Amino acid sequence: MNDISYMQANSDISVLKQIGEFIKEKRVEQNISQDSLASRAVLSRSTLSLIERGESISLLNLIKILRMLDALYVLDRFKIELQISPMLLAKEEQKKRKRAFRAKENPEEELGW
């Protein structure tokens, strides 16, 4: 894929349309009307309709809609996970104890005094 077609496929308008299609598909899958979803998400039905057609959406409204559709999982890609380098992992592994030691119960008796 060349750079121009990639940019067009992922233009702002294209991404908004994909978001709108996703929301509509999830809503229809769950057999929820626009009125019902808009009411649950505390939005107007016309705002939801605009979003489903690919119009601009605020992040807060997107979160509300995804929450009502039980689809917040799509935001998991934004989670930052701590990455441990292989070198650090190997060093930590070396520090771990390899054996258990039996504690001496009464060290004074072994001295033979």
Determine the residue type at 6.
Answer: Y
Closest by CA to 53, choosing from 77, 75, 45, is: 45
Closest by CA to 58, choosing from 80, 72, 43, is: 43
81 band by pLDDT with thresholds 50, 70 and 90:
confident
Burial, 73: exposed, middle or buried (Cβ in 10 Å; 0-12, 13-18, 19+)? exposed
Residue 111: what pLDDT? 57
The whole-model pTM stands at: 0.65
Residue 101: what pLDDT? 73
Give per-residue pLDDT as tens, 9-19: 688 999 999 99
Residue 59: what pLDDT? 94
Residue 17: what pLDDT? 95
Residue 23 has pLDDT above 80, yes or no: yes
Q: Please state which CATH number belongs to domain 11-77.
A: 1.10.260.40
**Average pLDDT score over residue span 20-47:** 96
